[in-house]
Structure 1
Amino acid sequence: MLAMPEVNYIKHLRENEDLSINEISRKTGCNWRTVKKYADGEVSQESLSSSKKGMMYDEGYGEIVDYWLEEDMKLKRKDRRTNKNMFEQLKREHGFKGSYRTVCDYIQYRKPQMKEEKTTRYERLDHPPGEAQVDFGNMTVVKDGAYKDIKALILSFPHSNAGFAYPLPAENSECFLEGLKQLFYQAGGVPTYLRIDNLAAAVISIGKGEKRTYTDSFLRFQAHYNFEVQPCNPASGHEKGNVEKKVDYTRNNLFTTHPIMEDFPQLTNWLQEEMTKDRNRPHYEKGVLIEELWEEDKNQLKALPVSNLPIYSIDSLKVNKYGEIEVDGEKFVIHKARIKQVLILKKEWNQFSCITNDGEVIYQEFRAYMNKTRAIPWDDILNDWEKKPRAVKYSRFYKYLSEKIQVYLIMKPEEIKKRVKGLRKLLEKYALDEIDEVLGAEGRIEREPHELGYILEAKAATYPEKIREAHTPGVLLDYEIDLNTYDKKLCPSLEGGIS
């Protein structure tokens, strides 16, 4: 089986240089059948094998050494730490368990890169139609009455300045590739060239010049969608300046007042509509509508592949002695697994599955970051509203309240201040959704805040619902005792019986 870079090269010769199978076989030295398999066949999915990068990368020691090297570059040569000094300092201060040779190899690899990063060369870039740039941006939305931090993957086309956006919960490999795939489908084609920076989701390590070591999953994705990569030099954001500006533009125009998010599909549809509307404005430099220039870009896009490429990663893990596994830093109990059983872990962008060696899915759950939120500081907001009650309905936070609470606050303009103060008091003990539920009952919208407090307190004190169980015979369920029967037996005279 060929490595992904070799597969990628064969596909490049077939698709972009239009070589025959025989010509590719002669050029690469590979068997004709092997070339035929990879040139015209589908890209194989990821197997269970996973590669480790070593403790300098995985355990963060490389970052420490990078900082020391950068710090020492500002000193005279005689004052800089030697490799031996760094090794001893790592052991003494950071509990490093590796060898001296490991540290030396890493320093020998990183020093030339860091020197190259110091030499920055700026040049004016010309962008023909069909070329694109991609990058992540941090955005904030409101979901279920709380802030949620998300990532927006932005795809921009510098020739036309057209942009596409796709919301995601994180910046890992599965999210990046899933988002990029969806952006290609939104654009209706695949860019000829795609400029990316050194995203950890796609790049393992950086070599000299444009040499990069990409992840197998990214190379598989690239081979399937057949585009060329233009990597940026380290610390050279200007080389993808169009997408950098598009990220800022999207944040300033669509996320300054945080939009309300029901779920990711709803937010995706909203973002797509807004980015489509944005194309109906003049290009900042060319004076032509972006939509017209986008047609030129669109005509140069490569066709989307016929088959869809599922995006996921495969790993294996062992159930611990408590019956737990750890995914994304969170522990999950797997009731159907044995202690120390090895499971296959399939991770998609939004969920993960645990699979036995027989192929049975025994557990499936959303990934931990799907449910992470930050509380909105309602106490501070309501405090401001209490001082300026007439500004309530104009506040950016007003729309984050439920419709019932909105109506409750402003239905009587002369009582806004009192109701805001009452709501603030209720929030000390109850959640917004509990207050919203109480207001939903008929006639309660007219109640005073302290009356709502009594209702909420009484509701909290009610007995729990009857526990459902399957052991009691059906004839006894909801059986009501007739006390008259007992009266007849105990006092027959009262019913006309014989004493």
Structure 2
Amino acid sequence: MLIVETVVRIRREHAGGKAIKAIARDLRLSRKVVRKAIRSPEAAFNYQRKVQPLPRIGPYQDRLDALLEENEGRGRRDRLRMTRIHDLLVREGFDGSYDAVRRYAARWRAARRKDAGEGAPAFIPMTFQPGEAYQFDWSHEDVEIAGKPMRVKVAHMRLCDSRAPYVRAYPREGQEMLFDAHARAFAFFGGVPRRGIYDNMKTAVTAVFTGKERVFNRRFLIMTDHYMVEPTACSPAAGWEKGQVEQQVQTIRGRFFQPRLRFASLAELNGWLEAECRRWAEHHAHPERGDITVAEALDMERPALQPILAPFDGFHESEHAVTGTCLISFDRNRYSVMSTAARRTVQVRSCHRSCNSPQKWALKIP
């Protein structure tokens, strides 16, 4: 492709009466290129390739299309990286480079968006004031506890202004674990923001209506009222509304949980995770204020946080029917209760083993 300066020189010399043959000889160009430069409007000399040759990918194009189509149908967690797709082609005899596969995949996705009438999505960055909000989410990670593989549920919280992270692992996503994660995260941050941003998880949201209208779980509302937090639920399938914690899930998975962690107990794992959150904040710059670290930004945001007035009694409450043999079914187990509760509906309050309640579960007869 000719640069603009060369095209302008060709047009100027030809306008001065110089022959095309002489211009081609002096500039070491073909006469065809010189004629095209002369005829082009306003020095616009752009070459558009009509057919893209694929010398390496050609024999494997159908196979690559099938792999890309299959990959698009997978969930985000299970999608293959381009390096893995290139490796699969190499195993089948492909001798081209990774860059060739990457470029082809980019053109393939652009063609799909064009066929569907979709342009590239546009997003408006969200800004937050100190102490304004935090974002919360769960992730599933594979670890090894006491020599046995285990998939733990990891609670993620992130302050929106300072970007300070907090993560803690639990055996499951029960509501009592949700309450415990909030209590420990607020203690770690040294205060409570004014607003919390969540997805529509069942431990927090009972019913989803049009727009932002939600019916929140009763115990979850009691927890947010205790900490003076205004809960905000994201739109369904709109992860960008809490993009900071979504990005944190991917970052923490790659930096903390890979390769697979091995600990003797969940308590040791959580102690290590909390120390890693502090270390990560001390050694990483704030993404928008590069002159300070995340830990320094947290110190600046901490005075704007609300104080923690008292610990929250984070039990999960549910109603159960007592059988005639004085048994209730709770958490996939059967428990015996006092005979006075036979054939009656009772309230069961369960608590995570690390909460502040003296009892781990209790029975209440209305």
Check conservation: 2:348, 2:364, Cα contact below 8 A. Answer: no
TM-score scaled by structure 1? Answer: 0.44
Q: CA RMSD in A?
A: 2.7
Match of 2:363 among 355, 366, 370: 355
SS in 2 for 1:258: coil
Report how far residue 183 of structure 1 moved. 0.9
Query: Could you tell me which residue of structure 2 aligns to residue 190 of structure 1?
Result: 192
Tell me which amino acid in the other structure corresponds to 2:127: D
Structure 2 CA distance, aligned partners of 1:340 and 1:138? 39
Report how far residue 205 of structure 1 moved. 1.5
Structure 2 CA distance, aligned partners of 1:317 and 1:127? 43
Tell me which amino acid in the other structure corresponds to 1:168: Y
Report how far residue 314 of structure 1 moved. 2.9
Structure 2 CA distance, aligned partners of 1:165 and 1:172? 16
User: Cα deviation per residue 1:33-84 (whole Å; 9 max; x = unaligned)?
Assistant: xxxxxxxxxxxxxxxxxxxxxxxxxxxxxxxxxxxxxxxxxxxxxxxxxxxx
* Number of matched pairs: 237
Query: Could you tell me which residue of structure 2 aligns to residue 304 of structure 1?
Result: 308
Give unpaired runs (5+ residues) of structure 1.
Answer: 1-119, 359-499
- Label 1:193 to 1:314 Cα distance change in 2 as closer, same or farther (>3 A): closer
Query: Could you tell me which residue of structure 1 aligns to residue 296 of structure 2?
Result: 292
Tell me which amino acid in the other structure corresponds to 1:327: F
Check conservation: 2:145, 2:266, Cα contact below 8 A. Answer: no
User: Cα deviation per residue 1:344-379 (whole Å; 9 max; x = unaligned)?
Assistant: 422123595353759xxxxxxxxxxxxxxxxxxxxx
Query: Could you tell me which residue of structure 2 aligns to residue 325 of structure 1?
Result: 328
SS in 2 for 1:201: coil
- Label 1:196 to 1:357 Cα distance change in 2 as closer, same or farther (>3 A): closer
Check conservation: 1:168, 1:179, Cα contact below 8 A. Answer: no
Report how far residue 262 of structure 1 moved. 3.1
Structure 2 CA distance, aligned partners of 1:165 and 1:271? 7
Query: Could you tell me which residue of structure 1 aligns to residue 127 of structure 2?
Result: 126
Check conservation: 1:345, 1:352, Cα contact below 8 A. Answer: no
Structure 2 CA distance, aligned partners of 1:121 and 1:193? 26
Tell me which amino acid in the other structure corresponds to 2:251: Y
Check conservation: 2:329, 2:335, Cα contact below 8 A. Answer: no
Between structures 1 and 2, the one with greater strand share: 2
- Label 1:322 to 1:147 Cα distance change in 2 as closer, same or farther (>3 A): farther
Give matches, 1:30-109, under 5 Å. none
Report how far residue 158 of structure 1 moved. 2.9
Match of 2:249 among 238, 247, 250: 247
Report how far residue 322 of structure 1 moved. 6.5
Query: Could you tell me which residue of structure 2 aligns to residue 208 of structure 1?
Result: 210
Structure 2 CA distance, aligned partners of 1:285 and 1:314? 42
More displaced 10-residue stretch of structure 1: 154-163 or 335-344:
335-344
- Label 1:204 to 1:276 Cα distance change in 2 as closer, same or farther (>3 A): same
Give unpaired runs (5+ residues) of structure 2.
Answer: 1-120, 354-358
Between structures 1 and 2, the one with greater helix share: 1
Structure 1 CA distance, aligned partners of 2:156 and 2:305? 17
Taking only the aligned residue pairs, the percentage that are identical comes to 22
Give matches, 1:330-341, under 5 Å. 330-332=332-334, 334=336, 340-341=342-343
SS in 2 for 1:252: helix
Structure 1 CA distance, aligned partners of 2:341 and 2:231? 45
Tell me which amino acid in the other structure corresponds to 1:128: Q
SS in 1 for 2:144: strand
SS in 2 for 1:279: helix
Structure 2 CA distance, aligned partners of 1:245 and 1:286? 18
Tell me which amino acid in the other structure corresponds to 1:346: R
Match of 1:153 among 145, 155, 159: 155
Structure 1 CA distance, aligned partners of 2:164 and 2:322? 48
Query: Could you tell me which residue of structure 2 aligns to residue 233 of structure 1?
Result: 235
